[in-house]
Each structure stands twice: as C-alpha cells, then as structure tokens.
Homo-oligomer: A and B are copies of this chain.
Amino acid sequence: MQVTRDQRHKPRITASYRIETPLDIEQAAVAMAGEQSSGTFLRLEGETDELRERHAARVESVVRLETVATPSLSGALPGKHYACAAITLSWPLENIGTSLPNLLATILGNLTELRELSGIRLTDITLPNDFINAFAGPQFSINGTRRLTGVANGPLIGTIIKPSVGLSPEATADLVKQLVEAGIDFIKDDELIADPPYSPLAKRVPAVMRVIEEHAQHTGRKPMYAFNITGDIDEMRQRHDLVRDHGGTCVMASVNWIGMASLVGLRRHSELPIHGHRNGWGMFYRHPQIGMSYRAYQVLLRLAGADHLHVNGLGSKFAESNGSVIDSASACLTPLQEGSSRDDRAMPVFSSAQTIHQAHATFAALQSTDLIYTCGGGIMGHPHGAAAGCRSIHAAWQAATRGVALEDYAKEEPDLAVALRAFRRPFSG
C-alpha cells in the first residue's frame, strides 16, 4: 500500500523490541503491527483502505539475531526453531493521543500474550515532541533538587532509615537527628514503610520535620527527607500536603505499584520533588525475553513527573548487572528533547550496598555527579560513626572526580582511611 505524503509527515511513536518467534521474523513483526492497530482474524467491513493507511502500525526495521532451539516463554506456537530479532515498529501519534497508560496498551499490551512470540521485550521508545510536550515532566529535576538541598556540586550523599520496618515516629526522628548532624544531604523512608499504624505519616512527618527544621535554622542547610507517601491517589495528595505543610521538601512513591495514572495525578498536584522508587522492577528485567528495559520505562516515568529515579548501584546486592545500572542512569540524565530549554532529566538514585568503593567506578562510567548516592551500612557502619561515614563518602567522591586513587586520597582524609580498612571492596570493577 502506498503511503501518501500527508501520512508520512504526521508525528509517529516508535518502539523497539527484542523478540523471539517460531515464525519467520518479518511475519512476526507484521503480526505485531496488525494486532496493535487494526488487526483481527477477519477483515472487517469498516476496515477501509483509507483507515488502514491512516492508522496502521508500520514495521520500520527487522534485524535478525541468533536462533535458539527451545522457546524462552510458554504458550508460543510450536516451531522447529525460534528466531530472535531486533525490530522497530511505529504508530501514528493520532492512534493514541497523549496518554501514558494508553501508550503502554498500544506498544506493549496484548503483544505480551501473542502466541506468535516466544520472547517479547520492549527495548526503547522514541516519542514525538507533541507527545513529550503534553506532559509537565519533572518539576524539580537536578537543579531544583540541588537548590532545595543547598548541594551545588557533587552527588547528594544520602541514606535510608533502617530498620526498614518497626521504628516509631519518635525513634525515626531520633535517627534523623543523628543523620543530619552527621552531615547527610538526603534521607529517605524505606519502601516498606509508608503510613502503617505503628508510624502514621500524621505523626512521622511532624516528628521528622521538627528535627530537620531545627537543624536548618542552626546551620542554614536543610537536608531533604523523602517521605514515602505511597497509597491510593487521594491518600497521596493528602499526604503530599501534610509533608509540604510541615516544611518537607520531597515525597516518595513506589511507582510500579501506584501506576502511571497516579504518578501523573500526583505530579499535577505536587509542589515538591517526586522520588520514584521502582521496587518490583525485577519483574520487568530478570528474564531477557520478557518485560522492558529501564531505558524505555524511565522515559515514561519522567514524563509522568518523577524527579528522582532509582537505578540500583554498582556491585549491589541485587541481580542487575553493572552495565545495566549505568545504562539506566545515563538514560535518566539524557534530555528527552534536543535543544529544549526544559530540564526533563531525572536524578538517578544509586542504592543497595553502596560504600566508598563504588564512587570511582560510578563516576568513571557516568561522567557525572548529578546523582543521589545512598549508603546504609556504608555510612552508619563507619567505625567512627555516621559523621565520619558521611565525610568518608564525600571524600571518596572528591577523589573520584579529581582522578585520585582512594588509597592516595586517604592519606589526607583520615575518615576515608578508616573506611578503607573497614569496608571490603564489593567487586573488581
């Protein structure tokens, strides 16, 4: 079918995939495009040539990869072998409009269940400016977060309240007092605590903010505390107001579980940076033939309004590879539109078993300090206490950015020297 000039110049959404199929790969790509635009098992009366030309999804490219003997996913059509391919499809923006949940219904949706596919993973998305500009995006991004915390340069050094579960509001506030006096820039609730009966936000927020406001009055520095307000949309908006009214400067949500529709809804309401926690993300990346890449997903989370996005960390206790961690963080730091004046980057949040030892490798790979670097034991476990722990992490990052080896920098920085003896290198990278 010939595509008219008119259709060629309309904005399109493109999505790239890694697929595995018992079919011919071109045939599989065509099936995917059909299923997600005008396809069904009968050609229908209303499905005119004009409609097809205007609305059909298009196969933009197909690149053959390896062939495997057994299917990666259950339920696929039987085949002699299963061919892998990298493919790109595109849709007219007009099919979807500017909506994140409906974008996902189109570019992923039923594709995940097609018997034509024994592997289906979304690897990348490119959105037209008309789509991008329909969303407010991150409200604070990196510069806003730096302004609120007074950290002009270097990573924000952060930590997570532990134990994750069970601390009373008063005990939390006591711990926050230690941490802010130790010089921390950023503190977050664990994702396991939001508004439980033993520590309701109505008590935790005032208790914590009293400590932080006092500290700010004495020192002129106000560390950022990300209160986990995860809940239903109305609860989150109320909790946001509670945090704001007590002088809080950040709210956190479990983005996978609240969902796109509520992240957009929270952003519309919010006057504070939104800290996006992605617990559950393993469901999307642990098998290479199902799910989606964070490179694709973080685009949607940023458009929806996340200012900070978790990316795990190098040498962490989690299953993600270091390469994937850096790819995710780099993606978060890449503007969505070239030449736009709007800052739509998200600040990547490194966490899980981070210590002085990951600063060099993280900086070397990312070539940026626009990040939040959270340590638990890496700060609290310092033999000379949390303040020495904070100083040692700062020193490690200074060494990294100045290109000085940790061991050399430690000669001038006693807290770093102690940390070097106390913390084992987690990996060889």
Asked whether B231 lies within 8 Å of A101 as measured between CB atoms, the reply is yes
> Which residues of chain B are within 8 angstroms of A73 by Cβ–Cβ distance?
286-287, 319
Q: Tell me which of A1-9, A180-188, A257-265 binds B.
A: A257-265
Question: Does A320 have its Cβ within 8 Å of any Cβ on chain B?
Answer: yes
Count this chain's copies in the assembly: 2
Question: Does A291 have its Cβ within 8 Å of any Cβ on chain B?
Answer: yes
Asked whether A231 lies within 8 Å of B261 as measured between CB atoms, the reply is yes
Question: Does A410 have its Cβ within 8 Å of any Cβ on chain B?
Answer: no
* Bound CA–CA A292/B291 (angstroms): 13
Closest-CB distance, A47 to chain B (whole angstroms) = 5
Question: Does A156 have its Cβ within 8 Å of any Cβ on chain B?
Answer: no
Asked whether A194 lies within 8 Å of B97 as measured between CB atoms, the reply is yes
Question: Does A290 have its Cβ within 8 Å of any Cβ on chain B?
Answer: yes
> Which residues of chain B are within 8 angstroms of A320 by Cβ–Cβ distance?
75, 113
> Which residues of chain B are within 8 angstroms of A268 by Cβ–Cβ distance?
232, 234
> Which residues of chain B are within 8 angstroms of A262 by Cβ–Cβ distance?
232-233, 258-259, 261-262, 265
Contact partner of A162 (CB less than 8 A), chosen from B44, B75, B120, B162, is B44
* Bound CA–CA A292/B286 (angstroms): 14
User: Given A42-B377, A51-B166, A73-B319, are A105 and B290 neighbors across the interface (CB < 8 Å)?
Assistant: no
- A residues with CB within 8 A of B: 36-42, 44, 46-47, 51-52, 54-55, 72-76, 94-97, 99-102, 104-106, 108-115, 117, 120, 162-167, 171, 175, 191-192, 194-198, 230-236, 253-254, 256-265, 268, 279-284, 286-292, 312, 317-321, 353, 376-377, 380-381
